Structure 1
Amino acid sequence: MTGKTRWWTTNSRALLTLAFPLILTNFAYVALTTVDIVMLGRLGALEIAAAGLAITLFNQLRTTGTGLVTGVSNLVAEANARGDQQRIRDLLFAGFLGATVSGVVFCVALLSIGPLLVRLGQDPAVVAKAGDFLMILAPGMLPCLWFQNLRHFTTGLKRPGPLLAITIVSVGLTIGLNYVLIYGKFGLPAFGFTGVAIATVTVFLLSFLAFTVVVRRDSALRPYLQGSGRWVWPGEAVTSVWRLGLPIAGTYASEAGFFSVLTLLIGTLGVEALAAQTVLNQLVYIVFMISAGFSHAASVHISEAGGNADYARARRLGLLGLAWGVIATLVVAIPYLLIPEAIVSLFISAEYAANAEVIALTASGLLIAAVMQIFDAGQNIGNGILRGVGDTAGPFRISLVGYWLIGLPAGYLLGVSAGWGVRGVWIGQAIGLAATAGILLFAFLRRVDRLRQTTGHLAAEPSPS
């Protein structure tokens, strides 16, 4: 085995070791909404369109809130390297504070958005039903973001293991609660449509409580949840979390907002189009969780290389993370291309003739999604590797160009002006993601090369020995 081959094998193993539990953790959350949409698909197009709109808006703000606490993992890792336990406690508190403040604000926003959606051209019947769903779902924002803060705290200490068991249990619990609450089992009333929202919020809360219990039982993590004596307001830690988290949240909000605005645009094309968009978004979102794991893992490893001023290694690690992300999305694309109708039928019941148009529309969209998700993985990992070399503002600026100046106009021109309908919007979305991925990769390579020149550390490629 040559030196280069050994390097790629060793670092791939390290990358996958960290990425795998992160991917499973991401699946815990995507599984919740995936199960919700599968169950809703058995109720009808109006229900799946309304819930899809509500879930899109919820995920938009959830993603933004997650960005606010994402920096906790980086700051905790730095403090842990210095052995500063008090700072780690302060950072954990600061993360909870940010999660709580943003959670309350986002909850109020979700409960107040109905009239605005009608003004933006959404079907009033869909908006009314989405409002009923959000009335129950919105408070779930708080335990959802608290869980994310704990997740980044444990990741910063490189102890993401406790998340795996919670992932498995939460998926099973979501399936069971949806079935019981929608159809009314074990003596409970049949809540129908709103039963899905009740189940989701319940799982959010139980997941957070379970994760808290697991952390408190971990001898290495428990001390950080306990006081150390006299408490002092951790102003510096709060400032650090917000200063690092705000640009990350801005980037996440820009990306999620891009998808949300395109969903609203598609909502003006009819209930069937919005139902198809709901399913397609969820399928893309599942794959996004895979690339998010690679993005975070690559970011951590690149930060370590940067800490040693080994930017030649950081460059290779960035390309390695990107390569694994593309490989994963290509594997997922195979069933999208071979059996699109069968995949869509998992989400939308083919028993009802009224769903036939939605199934056909979504199946054709999967062919576009097979390509689109490759670019989505590229831009997602691009954000992570840029963050790994210390650039958190750059991804936000790049997202404004790729999503809003390229992707959104392309979606409108192809979908509305050119009359291609929902398929045109999807193609425009793919164009925006491709542009963003390309610019991010260019920015990463340029930044890492400049850092190499600045430090004068021109690390050589691995020797064949």
Structure 2
Amino acid sequence: MSTLKHEIRETFSVGIPLVASQLIYALSGFVGTAMVARLGEDALAASVLVSTIWMTLLVLFFGILNSVSVLVSHQFGAKNHKTISEIMGQAYLLGLIIAIIMVFILLLMPVFLRWSSQPPAVLELARQYMHALIWTTPGLIALIISEQFLAGINRTKLVLRISVLVVPIEIPLIYMLIFGKIGLPAFGVAGIGYGFAITYSITAIGLLFYLLKSPHYRHFKIFNGINRFHFRYFKELVNVGLPMGFMHVIEVSTFALATLWMGQFGTTMLAAHQIVMQFLGFAITLVFAMSQAVTIRVGHSVGEQNVTGVYYAAYAGMLLNFVCAILIALGFYLIPTFFLGLDIDTHKPVNADLVRDASMLLAISGVLLLFDNFRIIGFGALRGLKDTRFPMLASFISFWLVGLTCAYIFSFHFGFQGSGIWWGLTLGIAFGAAIVFIRLRILLKQIDENKLTLIKEMKN
């Protein structure tokens, strides 16, 4: 029998390793950018161009592959290991298709980057970086699928151990490949791509070998289904995953457009925006990781046909993350200079305007984070119920229709400038949180009224 105390403990057990793992991986990207900054403005500009495209591809295809943990968690809760084997076979086939598409896009992108009006030196560095990232793709896709499998079977601690082992090796390797240390070639900005390629490839090979040989995992037979095509499971992976991928693209594109608008209000406001986005990004990483934990816990309860567990998994996740979100939001509001001091000297008079604008935006981002907590955790619960199309539609309405419209009106028509953009996005996210919460309540009520009917339909 599920209890709230038990669910909180289980959510922590699944979520904390995912949170820690995501923060560690985010740290490697942050350090890599800092290294590139030492190469000069051309290298940094090329890095920004490529990173924007690369992150858009990642959020799209990572969203699609998130369906692996959803389907696996359902079957794990139902103790159906044979079906997990068949799902994983189709997941790796889907991953192969995604890898081919990503490589094709990366090969073509240098052609389209010529329209960016950047100087030839920047475009050449961007081309080199793009080609280096091509070698990253196979290992990264295999690693994502394998980690989604581990999350689905409630083995998130192994995901954390992988990140703890990989990142301390990855960062020095990237440094050596960028600057040409210990006899290695100096690849410049492309060294980031080659560093990722080496570490992801070796890690993916090692993890797959471990999953095949370890007595804890080999009975799942994750490769047995790869030699035959199961249309049902392949289609289900795509149907569940594709809306999640598009949802992430909608969200990323919204903040990209907001950044372009922010540039209309001067370099100081743009710099303040970029600094605040850095801290908000780390906070949102925590929320997304906990959201995946909620997805997995809901999926397990669905597989077990445990109605009470579905309720507790959804609401315990919201409660736990709200406590974390409100602490972060209070920190953003009460001690902004503590956070800003990590990037700039807050005591220098020359930075006074930047500190003022960034402190204001940081306080607004705290409010945004509180609403985003409920929206993202709600999405996690809906994913666990295999409802991914509604979150995509909700993101479209809340970000593109409500958020961007309000941001434009508040900033350009009402004269609130940078703060208007952030308040507009906050209003859109608040609207999204409300409709997601209503949708979740309706689904949970349907489960309660129909007893196990809805859950059985999802399982079948």
TM-score, normalised to structure 1's length? 0.82
- Structure 1 distance, partners of 2:151, 2:398, is 30
Matched, 1:179 2:196: no
Pair 318,83 (structure 1): closer, same or farther in 2 beyond 3 Å = closer
Which residues in structure 2 correspond to 1:100-119 (within 5 Å)?
100-113=96-109
Aligned to 1:32: 28
Match of 1:124, SS state, is: coil
Shift of 1:155: 1.8
Give the equivalent residue in structure 2 for 1:88.
84
Q: Which amino acid is the alignment partner of residue 72 of structure 2?
A: V
Matched, 1:432 2:428: yes
How far 1:234 sits from its partner (Å)?
2.9
User: Gaps (5+ residues) in structure 2?
Assistant: 454-460
Contact 1:41 1:348 in 2 (8 A): no
Give unmatched runs, 5+ long, in structure 1.
458-465
Is residue 159 of structure 2 the alignment partner of residue 198 of structure 1? no
Q: Tell me whether 1:453 sits opposite 2:449 in the alignment.
A: yes
* Cross-structure match for 2:153: 157
Relative to 1, partners in 2 of residues 1:165 and 1:107: Cα closer, same or farther, differing over 3 Å? Answer: same
1:23 Cα deviation after fit: 1.7
Name the CA shift for 1:93/1:227 in 2 (closer, same or farther; >3 Å): closer
Distance, in Å, in 2 between the alignment partners of 1:28 and 1:52 is: 21
Q: CA offset at residue 166 of structure 1?
A: 1.5
Offset from partner CA, 1:385-444 (integer Å, 9 cap, x none)? 122334222111111110110112223334445555544433333222222122111211
Contact 1:32 1:174 in 2 (8 A): yes
> Partner residue of 2:72?
76
Equivalent positions of 1:13-52 (< 5 A) are: 13-40=9-36, 48=44, 50-52=46-48
How has the CA–CA distance of structure 1 residues 60 and 263 changed in structure 2, closer, same or farther, with 3 Å as cutoff?
farther
Query: What is aligned with 1:461?
Result: none
Equivalent residue for 1:463?
A: none
Residue 368 (1) aligns with residue 364 (2): yes
Letter of the aligned partner of 1:328 in structure 2? C
Mapped to 1, the partners of 2:169 and 2:187 lie a distance apart of 17
> Is contact 1:123–1:268 with CA below 8 Å preserved after alignment?
no
- Structure 2 residue 384 is the aligned partner of structure 1 residue 401: no
**Matched position secondary structure for 2:277:** helix
* 1:294–1:228 Cα change, 3 Å: closer
Alignment counterpart, residue 299 of structure 1, candidates 295, 298, 306: 295
Partner secondary structure for residue 391 of structure 1: coil
Say which SS state the counterpart of residue 455 (structure 1) adopts: coil
Q: 1:124 aligns with which of 118, 122, 127?
A: 118
2:279 corresponds to which of 278, 283, 307: 283
Distance 1:109 1:262, change over 3 A: farther
Which digits, 9 at most, give the CA deviation of each residue in 1:75-118, with x for residues without a partner?
A: 22344455554432332121122223223323433454467677
Superposition deviation, residue 229 in structure 1: 10
Is the Cα–Cα contact under 8 Å of residues 302 and 310 in structure 2 kept in the other structure?
yes
Q: Structure 2 counterpart of 1:214, which letter?
A: Y
State the match for 1:97 in structure 2: 93
| Pairing 1:319–2:315 present | yes
Alpha-carbon spacing, 1:233–1:108, altered in 2? closer, same or farther (3 Å): closer
Distance 1:39 1:429, change over 3 A: farther
Judging changes above 3 Å, is the alpha-carbon distance between structure 1 residues 368 and 390 closer, same or farther for their aligned structure 2 residues? same
Match of 2:406 among 394, 404, 410: 410
My pick for the range that moved more, 404-413 or 127-136, is 127-136
Q: For 1:63, give the aligned amino acid.
A: V
2:384 to 379, 383, 388: 388
Helix, strand or coil for the counterpart of 2:284? helix
Shift in CA distance, 186/361, structure 1 to aligned 2, threshold 3 Å: farther
SS in 1 for 2:229: coil
Q: Are residues 161 and 108 of structure 1, via their aligned partners in 2, closer, same or farther at CA, if it must alter by over 3 Å?
A: same
Taking a change above 3 Å as real, the CA distance of residues 184 and 307 of structure 1, as seen in their structure-2 partners, is: closer
> Are residues 404 and 226 of structure 1, via their aligned partners in 2, closer, same or farther at CA, if it must alter by over 3 Å?
closer
The Cα shift of 1:154 comes to 1.6
Distance 1:89 1:177 in 2: 35
In 2, Cα distance between equivalents of 1:141 and 1:267? 33
Q: Deviations over 1:293-352 (max 9, x none)?
A: 2212222323344456654553343222112112122233354345545534545699x9
Residue 146 of structure 1 is matched in structure 2 by 142
In structure 1, the residue matched to 2:237 is: 241
Identity of aligned residues (%): 23
- For 2:140 and 2:93, locate their aligned partners in 1 and report how far apart those are by CA, in whole Å: 14
- The alpha-carbon deviation at position 202 of structure 1 amounts to 3.4
Look up the equivalent residue of 1:412 and give its one-letter code: Y
User: Which of 1, 8, 15 is equivalent to 2:4?
Assistant: 8
Contact 1:183 1:191 in 2 (8 A): yes
Relative to structure 1, the CA distance from residue 55 to residue 74 in structure 2 (aligned partners, 3 Å threshold; closer, same or farther) is same
**CA–CA distance in 2 between the matches of 1:395 and 1:316?**
20
2:457 is aligned to none
Cα–Cα, structure 1 residues 111 and 208, in superposed 2: closer, same or farther, change >3 Å?
A: same
Question: Structure 1 residues 207, 336: closer, same or farther in 2, change over 3 A?
Answer: farther
- Take 1:72 and 1:369, find their aligned partners in 2: how far apart are those partners? 32
- Considering only aligned residues, what root-mean-square deviation do their CA atoms show, in Å? 3.8
| Equivalent pairs, count | 451
The answer for the alignment partner of 1:207 in structure 2 is 203
Distance 1:230 1:434 in 2: 43
CA contact (8 A) 1:379 1:436 kept: yes
